[in-house]
Structure 1
Amino acid sequence: MTSQELQRVRQLPAGRKADLASYVDEVGRVTVADLAAHFNVSIDTIRRDLDQLDRENILIRTHGGAVSTSERAGRDREIDVRLSMQAAEKEAIAQLAVDLVTDGSVLMINAGTTSLAVARALRNHRNLTIATNNLRIPAEISPTVFRDLYMFGGAVRTLTQATTGPVTLGMSGSTPEVDIRCDMALIAVGAVDGSGCSTSNLGDAAMMAEMISRAERTAILADSTKLDRRLFAQIVPLEGADYLVTDRAPSSGLAAALDAAGVTVLVPEGE
């Protein structure tokens, strides 16, 4: 194919979208304006292309641009980028998860944007005790919801707006460590497959596993893009969870594994 023929192919919608997807994958993060200039098309055309490629899970649409899906497997993203990903699905998960919570109970909630959606959805609950490593929760949860709110200490990870460290709450240097327990752990994870729940960061995995070990019941929170996937660090096998709260019914293979492990799957009505 000559260079002129190649250029004509690239001006066709299908050819442009293929080039666009390749370009986003190579660059990692782009804006709509940059893409419009690069491909010499209108901003509205680029927006339509990005919306379609996002629906096809080829890239991740963000406010004002897109990011590559290749970042999904292992690298942390800035929380503002992750807040725009699967936003409707996270809201649906949050509404299901808060139905598991009773007033007056003690909760542990981990970091993550799905967990943050759950914390916001607790607005009609009262008298909760909440312990978390999610730095966004104190600013975004309604003060009418909780009786006590605690933050776990540790190293601060600015990208994810979280702390990573031991699941302890010290009162003073001379006081022995207090054993803490909770009624429910609400744990957002990076991946769920037949072997269990996993995430990309070793420290996060250890912290989530400890939260789960201190809980009477555990609800795993994962949108459907995280199902049938495995990341670097395992948190718990499927048997370690009581519920999987997601936005779409799992595949038949994963559903069978969850059933065998005694995990109740919660999905929105109609899914």
Structure 2
Amino acid sequence: MSGAGDTASMAMAALPVFRQNQILTILKERGQATVIELVEHFRVSRDTIRRDLDLLEQRGLLIRTHGGAVHNDQLVRVDSTLIRRMDEHVDAKRRIGEAAAQLITDGETLILNGGSTTCAVAAALGERRNLTVITNNLRLPPATPEAAVRSIHILGGTYWDVSQVTIGTVGFASVAGISADTAVVGVTAISAAGLSMGRLEEATETSSMIDIARRTIVVADHSKFNRTAFARVGAFDRIDILVTDAPPPDAMRQVLDAAGVALVVCGG
């Protein structure tokens, strides 16, 4: 017959398994978590959490990141081709494009990055006039109503056929004379940690666009929520407005509110 000491020992032995299962539950709900967050949640040491994360990664249940981890299901590994993205969430992107276009005023200089949602924004600019458009998105010029624009400037660089964008070998933000009133950017993924994209070069280019604009509008449908892509663009304090088609998860909404980001939700 087992005594109280044996029962306590069994409970102690089960604790790591229970904690690791709870870590997976947290990652599934939030998409990702930092070591510090998990330390505070479980009231254990950083070394303990790191060992848990290492073990779970070895079992293929999560992916370690700098300072934390993401759940396997939430990791965006490879950016999809633009043609495929153009066919996904078409109605949501149209509504997002129309809502974002209402935030633009006549005479602005806009800078837009690659992606299907920014093309939807450009297509919805029919009521605007005298816009100057700067972009690396080669699908965007034919999508933009002629009456809306004064001029369209294409950023040079290497052509990427998978995304139909140009990526410059030298950051354009440092070039004298380039500035914009508004950056309208699409991203691959959004989580409580901020914005990310599938390719490092596109993330760097998008970050530079944000740097040279007075305000930044991020356009993204709900499928991007609670996901983390390979390359980080920045935290929410770098953007001004998020235009989307559904309310974001509570954890993300709290971070958006704390960063002072205005939320525009254009539901169906």
Query: TM-score by structure 1 length?
Result: 0.68
Instruction: Tell me the distance in 2 between the aligned counterparts of 1:177 and 1:210.
Output: 11
Superposed CA deviations along residues 172-194 of structure 1, whole A, max 9, x for unmatched, are xxxx9423111100000011111
Q: CA RMSD in A?
A: 2.0
**Equivalent residue for 1:191?**
189
Instruction: Tell me the distance in 1 between the aligned counterparts of 2:188 and 2:223.
Output: 9
**Equivalent residue for 1:214?**
212
Q: Determine which of 169, 172, 191 is the counterpart of 1:168.
A: 172
Does the Cα contact within 8 Å between 1:112 and 1:134 map onto a contact in 2? yes
**Equivalent residue for 2:198?**
200
Does the Cα contact within 8 Å between 2:76 and 2:228 map onto a contact in 1? no
Matched, 1:125 2:123: no
**Equivalent residue for 1:99?**
102
Instruction: Tell me the distance in 2 between the aligned counterparts of 1:140 and 1:268.
Output: 21
Q: Determine which of 241, 245, 248 is the counterpart of 1:247.
A: 245
Unaligned runs of 5+ in 2: 1-72
Query: Residue 269 of structure 1: CA displacement?
Result: 5.4
Instruction: Tell me the distance in 2 between the aligned counterparts of 1:112 and 1:146.
Output: 20
Query: TM-score by structure 2 length?
Result: 0.69
Name the SS of the counterpart of 2:104 in structure 1: coil
Does the Cα contact within 8 Å between 1:189 and 1:198 map onto a contact in 2? yes
Unaligned runs of 5+ in 1: 1-69, 170-175
Instruction: Tell me the distance in 2 between the aligned counterparts of 1:81 and 1:228.
Output: 21
Instruction: Tell me the distance in 1 between the aligned counterparts of 2:197 and 2:81.
Output: 16
Name the SS of the counterpart of 2:91 in structure 1: helix
Instruction: Tell me the distance in 2 between the aligned counterparts of 1:99 and 1:140.
Output: 17
Superposed CA deviations along residues 135-174 of structure 1, whole A, max 9, x for unmatched, are 01122212211111100011100111111124539xxxxx
Instruction: Tell me the distance in 2 between the aligned counterparts of 1:157 and 1:117.
Output: 20
Evaluate the alpha carbon distance shift between residue 177 and residue 197 of structure 1 in structure 2; reply closer, same or farther with a 3 A threshold: closer
Query: Residue 74 of structure 1: CA displacement?
Result: 2.7
Structure 2: which amino acid aligns with 1:194? A
Instruction: Tell me the distance in 1 between the aligned counterparts of 2:155 and 2:203.
Output: 15
Matched, 1:80 2:78: no
Evaluate the alpha carbon distance shift between residue 177 and residue 78 of structure 1 in structure 2; reply closer, same or farther with a 3 A threshold: closer
Query: Residue 124 of structure 1: CA displacement?
Result: 1.4
Identical-pair percentage: 35
**Equivalent residue for 1:233?**
231
**Equivalent residue for 2:256?**
258
Structure 2: which amino acid aligns with 1:192? I
Name the SS of the counterpart of 1:124 in structure 2: coil
Does the Cα contact within 8 Å between 1:97 and 1:245 map onto a contact in 2? yes
- Aligned length, in residue pairs: 195
Superposed CA deviations along residues 13-40 of structure 1, whole A, max 9, x for unmatched, are xxxxxxxxxxxxxxxxxxxxxxxxxxxx
Instruction: Tell me the distance in 2 between the aligned counterparts of 1:210 and 1:179.
Output: 14
